[in-house]
Chains A and B, each alone.
Chain A
């Protein structure tokens, strides 16, 4: 019984982690169609923003929930203005440009902070579940991921900005004809995606530690999750996170960590083969 609860909690943590690292990409790639190969580095910047703030004596929660997303959101705004804006609709050029950005960011951060692992201890201590002990922080991550999903849903469904954003992404020319400043909507949406990514980076920093190259560990998984999710970015990413995250964690439990990772990837391949338009290409088609 204890074991069941322990495994269930671990599975949920795995799902939450996958959802957090993919959510920003779901906005930027899933919604806007921008292939951002610097997504992993946005995560890394979020981690560094949080860690540097904590080192300068700023409250840990403020660092993770405010400074990390604001810093990376602002950075996203600049990147959009200088780079992405000129490349909308040009897939190959976008890939090349963001890949270059990714390499440049890794290089710059390595030069400034060195190639060493930074980090701070996870707050909240541990919880006892029967015979098993958990980091309370990973339980907190599950809550944070849930809350974030609800928030993004509210923003896109229930606010005027959400309506404009969805309309613009669906048909930019029509939106422009109706008087929407589409350029601004694109910029804000890209910044929102970057901010969500920064937040994820900040939240994961105490668990994973931060290194300039940490993005490479996440980027493939984030893309796989968003692509498996399909057209409806929020529900798609969520359902893909649930399936892939569960496969990864259960695989690790039942076999080895290597096969756990392999199980995640194998399931993604099967899903994309069976559902080429993603999970939401067939199910939850009318969802967000």
Chain B
């Protein structure tokens, strides 16, 4: 059969179009199909002092990655939900993120209670979860990456430092729920290991505002220092009453919590200066990466830029970049591929120093800083690079038992 020129051209044209079609369509999909990332942080209610700076940092990190061309050539779409300091809304938004938004990852949760509310949901729906907050340690779940510092990182540095500085007798004041109870055990452990003595530990419900009797009890016990594990708005009045009683000049104080919610901005320098704390980041940390970050952060947010006193907001920034690095290495947003990439020991060099994921626990090694409150901010005193999550590692091994799904209550030997 003789082929006409016209027919030949048509056939060739069709063939070319058919061959090219997948490429064209794939290209169209690149632009139209962003990667969804969900943030669940309290932007209102009692926890908004923690939540708002975290949201600001998460949004900033997403914008950074998008400005650099996105991930795998795709844009990142961030959805921020506000659970209004209400655990029920946490579970609702987590379900929504997994089932209707099909989020590639969820960053969120502030209190341990909120984390334990959404962690099982996200695991059940096979949605990757990042918890970027300082907490009491022990979570062991392949689907959940905890990027904040834990007691073996912060308390372990804080206690010996203040004991060497001030003496061996510690009086502990702590919030009466799991964080306060567990952390005060860690304080006791590290105090005894360093040859010290805990003269007393008092626990306070979160709504207590009158510390008068306790201040007298402390004077009677004559400790070398007070360790505050107090949490939340009501407990801030302790620092006021302590200073008003003239005790601040007599007995020095350290804290595992002060500054996490920017309490330093609410207290006067007379009330708070000199209190020693330990976190994995302070805005005042002096290194080139932090300088550059702060410059960009303030240029972008202007007057609305929150003060990044404690570590929560910065860990959220770091947590997002760790996940992004995991996606780059996995070359996919598929959950298991990203988890495997992250567990291979992804690192991120950021403002707080180098953060490395520990594949055995899905926690991180990070730099810990000691600082004292100075004029509504912090003065950094010491820097301990590359601290491993030894507490969680003592109970959790995801390499040996990948199906573990619980928060271990670490048996603190005291």
B268, closest chain A residue (CB): A121
Q: Is the CB of B246 within 8 A of A135?
A: yes
Q: Is B331 an interface residue (CB 8 A)?
A: no
Name the distance in Å between B134's Cβ and chain A's nearest Cβ: 20
Q: Is the CB of A257 within 8 A of B216?
A: no
Q: Is the CB of A217 within 8 A of B203?
A: no
Interface string of A59-95 (1 = CB under 8 A from B): 0000000000000000000000000000000000000
Q: Is B49 an interface residue (CB 8 A)?
A: yes
Name the distance in Å between B115's Cβ and chain A's nearest Cβ: 21
The total of chain A residues at the interface (CB under 8 A) is: 43
Q: Is the CB of A133 within 8 A of B46?
A: no
B85, closest chain A residue (CB): A115
Q: Is A14 an interface residue (CB 8 A)?
A: yes
Q: In the bound complex, what is the Cα–Cα distance between A7 and B216 (angstroms)? A: 8
Contacts of B219 in A (CB 8 A): 6, 131-133
Interface-centre pick from A7, A13, A131, A133 (highest chain B CB count, 10 A): A133
Name the distance in Å between A121's Cβ and chain B's nearest Cβ: 6
The total of chain B residues at the interface (CB under 8 A) is: 38
Contacts of A115 in B (CB 8 A): 44-46, 48-49, 233
Inter-chain contact total with CB atoms closer than 8 Å: 123
Q: Is B245 an interface residue (CB 8 A)?
A: yes
Contacts of B208 in A (CB 8 A): 217, 257, 261
Cβ < 8 Å to B, chain A residues 239-282? 249, 252-253, 256-258, 260-261
The one of B209, B216, B246 in contact with A253, judged by C-beta atoms closer than 8 angstroms, is B216
Q: Is A225 an interface residue (CB 8 A)?
A: no
Q: Is the CB of B246 within 8 A of A133?
A: yes
Q: Is A101 an interface residue (CB 8 A)?
A: no
A260, closest chain B residue (CB): B213
Q: Is B244 an interface residue (CB 8 A)?
A: yes
Cβ < 8 Å to A, chain B residues 177-236? 202-205, 207-210, 212-214, 216-217, 219-220, 233-234, 236
Name the distance in Å between B136's Cβ and chain A's nearest Cβ: 20
Q: Is the CB of A3 within 8 A of B220?
A: yes
The one of B205, B240, B266 in contact with A207, judged by C-beta atoms closer than 8 angstroms, is B240
- Given the known interface contacts A3-B220, A115-B49, A133-B219, the answer about A208 and B237 at a Cβ–Cβ threshold of 8 Å is yes
Q: Is the CB of B250 within 8 A of A117?
A: no
The one of B203, B210, B268 in contact with A14, judged by C-beta atoms closer than 8 angstroms, is B210
Cβ < 8 Å to B, chain A residues 121-135? 121-122, 125-126, 128, 131-135
Q: Is A10 an interface residue (CB 8 A)?
A: yes
A to B CB contacts below 8 Å, 13 in the list: A14-B210, A117-B233, A121-B270, A125-B246, A132-B219, A132-B220, A138-B212, A207-B241, A214-B209, A252-B217, A253-B213, A257-B203, A258-B203
